Structure 1
Amino acid sequence: MHDSPAPNSGAPGSDSPITIRLDDFLKFCGLVGTGGQAKVLIQNGEVQVNGQVETRRRKQLVPGDVVELLGERFEVEATE
């Protein structure tokens, strides 16, 4: 499994969770080159989040979520 940090964080001093959209996460990890490629893979049901097929490209991921694509697993991690 690859560990990949989430590039977005909540507002400083707030309790808002750290999140990243699924399509942005795929781009961030280098699994796709464009948002269009991410959209096709997600809408075709080729991406799983926490073991379930996810077809919403704007699905908000949080630290601890596991994304699977093309036989590889990536865990969302927070960065400071």
Structure 2
Amino acid sequence: MQQDFTLTGEYIALNDLLKICGVADSGGAGKALVASGAVSVDGTQELRKTCKIRAGQTVSGDGFTIRVVGA
């Protein structure tokens, strides 16, 4: 699943992005997914659950890719 997410503020927390885009059922599930090492930001494994994701970044994992674009 590949999708674009339009960022309206300066950044969004990684776990919230996963929840909003439907990759995780909840913020807690998003945190667990990140903690498991299954999420990459711009091709690098990311373990910080609330990492600030900004426009221009790409978040990916098994079966999903989210491109973050500015408003």
- Give TM-score, length-normalised by structure 1: 0.80
Distance 2:59 2:30 in 1: 13
Question: Unmatched 5+ residue regions in structure 1?
Answer: 10-17
State whether structure 2 residue 25 is matched by structure 1 residue 24. no
Gap regions ≥5 residues in structure 2: none
Runs of 4+ that moved beyond 4 A: none
**Residue 72 of structure 1, CA deviation:** 1.8
Query: What is the CA distance between 1:47 and its match in structure 2?
Result: 0.3
| Corresponding pairs, count | 70
Q: CA RMSD in A?
A: 1.2
1:71 Cα deviation (Å)?
2.6
The equivalent of 2:70 in structure 1 is 78
> What CA distance in whole angstroms lies between the structure 2 residues aligned with 1:72 and 1:27?
13
Is 1:38 matched with 2:30?
A: yes
Larger gyration radius, structure 1 or structure 2: 1
Identity %: 31
**TM-score calculated relative to the size of structure 2:** 0.89
Answer 1 or 2: which has greater strand percent: 2
